Structure formats: structure tokens, C-alpha cells
Amino acid sequence: MLRHLIGTDMARKILWLRCRPGPLKDYYAVDYPTLDTPWSAVEFLAIDLETTGLNPEQDEIISIGYAPVRRGAVVFSESGHHLARPTRPVPEESAVIHGLLDRHLQAAPPLETVLPRVLRAMTGRVPVAHFADVERGFLDAACRRLLGHPLLVPYVDTLRIEKRVLERRQDAITRGALRLNAARERYNLPRYKAHDARLDAIGAGELFLAQVAHMDTKKPPRLEEVITG
């Protein structure tokens, strides 16, 4: 993991040189926090997406929610939510999950308008997501398509952390046990409405704080101990 992240840091510097002036170059201009930094000194950004499907190369981001995590607390006052108008109608099978219909998105700006705002929110912060493969895949694909270069950033994945916790306890991982609200219940956190990007981002941030508080470490963990990939 350490070797992988050192390689990532070098790749980010190369991407900064290659990016044309704009939001992605500005993002790469700010260094990623060093791995030996105590987690409590790192600023995180809990983030969640709603999309038209599961394929980042074909489907589209239609809702982005986020909330900073700073000094051991989710900063609700700085949370944000953006809708993005897709280029194609929202499939029915996706709409029944997140409840976003074409009429909800007609007045929303296109993703190319929203993406720079999200990159500004992510700058200098470590992203936190529950099942981060979705956020990583879709945001990377969006940056490649709209800005010409990948979004290269290690994530904290609260789902992976929770899976490790259950495996160490030798608990059976039943169907649905790793869903966001199911994981939150194990830490006595309240249930939030699912598939609301802002609430899911806040929920992932709160879950991350609870997971760190329960880590079996003699001293506060460093960033490299909470990064999952």
C-alpha cells in the first residue's frame, strides 16, 4: 500500500504538469496529505453520487453530495449538493432507486458546470465514500471525458473498513450487512433516508468517525492506516 501511494503521489505531480489550466490543474496543484499525518490533522471530504446506472463509461452522474470532515467532526454548514442534467433520459430502473426523474433534472446545469465545483471542494482533502468504487470510477471517467485527464486520488472506503472489522471479529457477513445504514446501526448512529446524495455523504462521514473511534490502536491512527485504496 505504501509503495502504491508513493507512486500515486508522483503520478499526481506528472498530471499537474500535463493538465491545461483549469479546475483539474488547480486540484493537482495542492499536495495530497502525507501518509504519516495523524488522521485527526487531515481534512476529509465525505462524498456520494447518484447515477443513471453502474457503468462509468456509459452512465452519468446526476447528483453529487458532500460534507467536509474536519478535526473529528462532520461540518454540516459546509456540506453541499448539486444536481447535474444528464444527456439522456434517466432509466426507469435507476429512477426507482434514487427517485430522480427527468423533470427533476431539467433545470439543473450539465455536469461540466458542476464538476469544477466538486473538484474545488475535494482540493486538499481526502475523499471518504461508502463503496468508493462508484465515486472513484464515475468521477475519474467524468474528468477524463470533460477535462482530458484522470482523477487520481486514494480514497477512504467505509465499506472496506467495515468489512475488515467484521472479518476480524469473525462475524458472518450476511446479505445487506455492509450497506451504509446497516453499518451505521452497529455504531448506534441514526438511520437516514437512503439514496439522497447529501445525506449519504454525511452518513458516510459520520460512519468513518465512528469506525476510527473504535479502531484498536494505542495511539491515534495515521492517514496510511485509514486509506483503503
pLDDT in the model for residue 5: 53
Question: Within a 13 Å sphere around the CA of 214, how many CA atoms are in the beta-carbon half?
Answer: 17
- The type of residue at 5 is L
pLDDT in the model for residue 151: 97
Cβ of 173: how many Cβ atoms within 10 Å?
A: 11
Global pTM reads 0.94
| Three-state secondary-structure class, residue 40 | helix
pLDDT in the model for residue 4: 52
Q: If you ran DSSP here, which 8-state letter would residue 186 be given? A: T
pLDDT in the model for residue 191: 93
pLDDT tens string, the chain, 229 residues long: the values are: 434 555 788 889 999 999 999 999 999 999 999 889 999 999 999 999 999 999 999 999 999 999 999 999 999 999 999 999 999 999 999 999 999 999 999 999 999 999 999 999 999 999 999 999 999 999 999 999 999 999 999 999 999 999 999 998 888 788 899 999 999 999 999 999 889 999 999 999 999 999 999 997 778 899 999 998 7
CATH 3.40.1410.10, applies to 2-226: no
**In the chain, where the domains are located:** 2-226
Q: How many whole angstroms separate alpha carbon 52 and alpha carbon 47? A: 17
Rounded to 5 degrees, φ, ψ at 175 are -60, 125
